[in-house]
Structure 1
């Protein structure tokens, strides 16, 4: 039995994408589809590969179409620099609250359970991301 949460009006597992971004600083962007947009976090050190904790900074939502974007954002525009898709696929949202997001990735590179936990004592857009077993 799946822990999948059926999003309102969505009859399939939602999509995710991880984009590698060479902007002002090199980082990765995690994007999870929810309610018709891609909820997004910048990951300065990329996705965790084991039980380590890494910083995830929540950024503005993006249109679903942005999940397919690869290319160059021109100088002078927000996020200027090269963007490449590092991984993509579907995910099972197990739990999604204001302070915790538990999900299972079914990607081309990454598979497994991850959790995002909001850091309450620092900036409200700062989260920790961790791979869990």
Structure 2
């Protein structure tokens, strides 16, 4: 996984966002524990960013309507660039004129466990997983619809 697109879109002289340059280990976390975070992002349009730790980065999706606790409701989740692990704890204001300008707040966080092979999202367009967060708990699924960039969350 690469942070090239993430770094290309940002001017780290002008944004408080982490540059993703330090190598983060798993100090203080059990082997195999993977983090997730949902960030409320009041940018040009309010949305939520859903991020899953995988292979040293945070896989990321923008969810325009935010997550739903009702399993009958589906939500659009649009795949965006991978983010550095440091972004999991990022809160702050991205300056006007910068990519993603607006306020970012951590809305939920915790750990996640894949219930299907992590490569199935790429191969089959489907990933089933369990979240153990402060707000979101239980089984979830991401399903790719049509194009390579959009994924629906159930």
| Superposition TM-score, scaled by structure 1 size | 0.86
Per-residue deviation, residues 70-123 of structure 1 (Å, max 9, x unmatched):
010011111000000000000111113111111100001110100000002xx3
1:6 is matched with: none
2:134 is matched with: 108
1:3 is matched with: none
State the alpha-carbon separation in 2 of the partners of residues 88 and 35 from structure 1: 18
1:15 is matched with: 35
Q: Which runs of 4+ in 1 moved over 6 A?
A: none
Query: Do residues 57 (structure 1) and 83 (structure 2) align?
Result: no
From 71, 90, 94, the counterpart of 2:115: 94
Query: Do residues 34 (structure 1) and 54 (structure 2) align?
Result: yes
| Superposition TM-score, scaled by structure 2 size | 0.75
Superposition deviation, residue 12 in structure 1: 2.6
Secondary structure (helix, strand or coil) at the match of 1:58 reads strand
Contact 1:18/1:29 (CA < 8 Å) preserved in 2? Answer: yes
Structure 1 unaligned spans of 5+:
1-8
Secondary structure (helix, strand or coil) at the match of 2:115 reads strand
Per-residue deviation, residues 1-36 of structure 1 (Å, max 9, x unmatched):
xxxxxxxx9823200000000001000000000000
Superposition deviation, residue 49 in structure 1: 1.3
State the alpha-carbon separation in 2 of the partners of residues 35 and 109 from structure 1: 25
Query: Do residues 127 (structure 1) and 148 (structure 2) align?
Result: no
Contact 1:48/1:129 (CA < 8 Å) preserved in 2? Answer: no
State the alpha-carbon separation in 1 of the partners of residues 126 and 36 from structure 2: 17
* Matched positions, count: 120
State the alpha-carbon separation in 1 of the partners of residues 106 and 77 from structure 2: 18
Secondary structure (helix, strand or coil) at the match of 1:66 reads helix
Which has more radius of gyration? 2
Secondary structure (helix, strand or coil) at the match of 1:72 reads strand
